[in-house]
Structure 1
Amino acid sequence: MSKGRFPFESERLGRRAAGRPIARSGLLARLDAARGPVVLVAGVGGGKSTLLDAWVAARGAVLVDLAVQGLDAVPAEGLAAVDGATARDVSALANRRGVVIAAEQDPGVAGAVVVTAAELAFAEDETYQVLAAAFGDAEAADVLAPDLHLLTNGWPGLVALAAAWLAQHPAGERRERLIALARSDEGLAEFLVPAVLGGLSDGEREVVRRAVYAPAIEDSGAVPPFVQGLLRRPGWFVVPAGWKAALRSLLPRGAAETRYLAGM
């Protein structure tokens, strides 16, 4: 009997299914323990912004997005998270404790602890948890998790995309779909972003379209992996920055979105 008939009772498999986002207690503890600034360094989909959101929600830190705010928005004291940083932006934060900085390339902050993309990557069990949440079936997730983890190297954004795409197919087809994905010459993100979007309902695509052009939206639910709830602001949802450019090319803003955004 499938474990999907029960609320993820996966003790027999030695794993625990979890809802999104994955609780990353070890990484959060590392941010807390640092004696100076911490820099999270990874490319698009590396899990930086999601970890920042979890830390801000858990610790009550101030979040500063340098894409829309200046460095002067970072408080002089107390806990702060800085997203979208470059070397030019963050020299003033050198050796300061209680600041976590997210960047696609190491900005070279003096005294900083650097958390690399390899450290931000999911462990196999975390890949399993994402699959279990997407499938609603812990046993099916356990079967596919090792291969998906190997294919994606645990890259959080790719794990989430692949899990959502596989969940759009009947359970009996998922292994073959995963094998075909591994054999594809196309990049995983380049294939999966339009593929997952194409599998959404019209209503779900409209939620994504609204969210991709807004800093955040208040809505009745998320459309994972593209629209995710904010831990720091319950009831509000965002599109992770890494997916916005790709989604905007697939969902150009029309008159309805312009009117919606004008009324925000």
Structure 2
Amino acid sequence: MSKGRFPFESGRFVRRAAGRPIARPGLMARLDDADETVVLVGGTGAGKSTLLDAWVVGRGGVFVDLACESLDAVPDDGIVAVDSATAQDVAALRGRRGVVVAVEHDPEIAGVVRVSARELGFAEDETYQVLAAAFGDAEAADALAPDLHLLTNGWPGLVSLAAAWLAQHPAPKRRQRLVALARSELGLAEYLIPAVVAGLTEHDRELVRRMAALPGLDARTADRLDITEDLGPVAPFVQGLLRRPGWFVVPQGWKAALRAELPLSAAEAERLAGGFMAVPGQGR
């Protein structure tokens, strides 16, 4: 991501903090108005799954995650969001209005409407909204949003990681830390994931460690697996699902990095997976 020279100045205009998840009316309208299958194209952290979750809930549709379900789970008509798809899946679904499919790489298939990673990126004001939510301080977020947006090019996953990391530091030190981040020789995600993990409380770190090995958790399942009695979001790694209230997941794109950073023993991973499948209603 770009690490251009920062204009070290205060925010350029006054903005109002928004609740999460961030509303993205322009992108939502594009998904609604397309006459063909829409394909969201972007790698890890592009915000595809979050956008699909919000869109399908707002339209009363069906969400199918092909990371854990088959294409047979996709209904023959109606509003459908399909995550973790391949080019072959896109080919099978093309030409259907009301179907939005997320892929990592452009399938280069005719008869679909593409939304690129660049288009999925945050505008500067959306970067500000993520910071405002992380800091709980609109003025502090306004002062740093232009620089963070420049550093990350608005890539949603990186914005969320950086916001969580900056929120772990005292307010007077955040600009200094942002400057240090810009000078890092590592890639931003490579630097930020272990840095954010290191700043978590012991409880949150253990929750993230276990959840990275599971499809998701609700309070009942977390209690049955003896993972936690206090299940909730841990920004940016554990997120709630709009389509399934009370259900929390680690986004698919972060799981591999978190498993490497917070490894489970083979025995513990097997115990968690077996326990999850044994909870009524959780096996798919």
- After TM superposition, the score normalised by the length of structure 2 is 0.85
Task: State the partner residue of 2:271.
Answer: 259
Structure-2 separation of matches of 1:150 and 1:63: 33
CA-CA distance at 1:184 after TM superposition: 1.1
C-alpha displacement at 1:20, in angstroms?
2.3
- The residue that corresponds to 2:238 in the other structure is 227
The secondary structure found in structure 2 opposite 1:263 is helix
Aligned residue type for 2:271: R
Partner Cα distance (1:40, 1:90) in 2: 11
| Partner residue, 1:122 | 122
- In the alignment, the residues of structure 1 paired with residue 59 and residue 170 of structure 2 have an alpha-carbon distance, to the nearest angstrom, of 41
Amino acid paired to 1:28: M
Question: In the alignment, is the contact (CA less than 8 A) between 1:124 and 1:145 conserved in 2?
Answer: yes
How far did 1:260 drift?
3.8
Per-residue CA deviation, residues 131-152 of structure 1 (Å, 9 max, x unaligned), is 0110111101000000000000
Match runs of 1:166-177 below 5 Å: 166-177=166-177
Measured in 1, the distance between the counterparts of 2:263 and 2:164 equals 22
Relative to the length of structure 1, the TM-score reads: 0.92
Aligned residues of 1:93 and 1:109 also touching (Cα < 8 A): no
How far apart, in 1, do the equivalents of 2:106 and 2:210 lie?
32
Match of 1:149 in 2: 149
Q: Write the mapping of 1:204-223 to structure 2, written as runs, cut at 5 A.
A: 204-219=204-219, 220-223=231-234
Aligned to 1:3: none
**Aligned match of 2:3:** none
Equivalent position of 1:87 in the other structure: 87
- Contact map agreement 2:214 2:272 (CA 8 A) in 1: no
Assess if the C-alpha contact under 8 Å between 2:218 and 2:248 holds in 1: yes
Identity of aligned residues (%): 70
Structure 2: runs of 5 or more not aligned: 1-11, 220-230, 277-284
Q: Deviations over 1:9-60 (max 9, x none)?
A: xxx9531212322111221111011101000001110000100111121112
The alpha carbon displacement at 1:89 in A equals 2.1
In 2, are the aligned partners of 1:44 and 1:242 still within 8 Å (CA)? yes
Partner of 1:70: 70
Which whole-Å CA distance do the structure 1 matches of 2:94 and 2:52 have between them?
Answer: 19
Aligned to 1:131: 131
Matched residue type, 1:194 = P
- The one-letter amino acid of 1:259's match is R
Distance 1:68 1:212 in 2: 14
Aligned-partner SS, 2:100: strand
- Is the 2:82–2:102 Cα contact (8 Å) retained in structure 1? yes
Work out whether residues 152 and 159 of structure 2, in 8 Å CA contact, stay in contact via their aligned partners in 1. Answer: yes
Match of 2:25 in 1: 25
Tell me if structure 2 keeps the 8 A contact 1:209–1:257: no
Moved >2 Å (runs of 4+): 254-264
- In structure 2, relative to structure 1, the CA distance for the partners of 1:232 and 1:23 (3 Å cut) is same
Determine the structure 1 residue equivalent to 2:225.
Answer: none
SS in 1 for 2:130: helix
Q: CA deviation at 1:258?
A: 4.1
| Local SS of the residue matching 1:95 | coil
Query: CA-to-partner distance for each residue in 1:133-176, whole Å, 9 max, x for gaps?
Result: 10111101000000000000000000000000000001111001
1:238 to 232, 249, 256: 249
Deviates further, 122-131 or 104-113:
104-113
User: What is aligned with 1:57?
Assistant: 57
1:99 aligns to what? 99
CA contact (8 A) 2:14 2:142 kept: no
Could you tell me how far apart the structure 2 residues matched to 1:68 and 1:163 are? 30
One-letter code of the match for 1:246?
Answer: A
Which secondary structure state, in structure 2, belongs to the residue aligned with residue 217 of structure 1?
coil
CA distance in 2 between partners of 1:223 and 1:256 (Å): 21
- What is residue 5 of structure 1 aligned with on the other side? none
Give the Cα–Cα distance (whole angstroms) in 2 for the partners of residues 63 and 141 of structure 1: 33
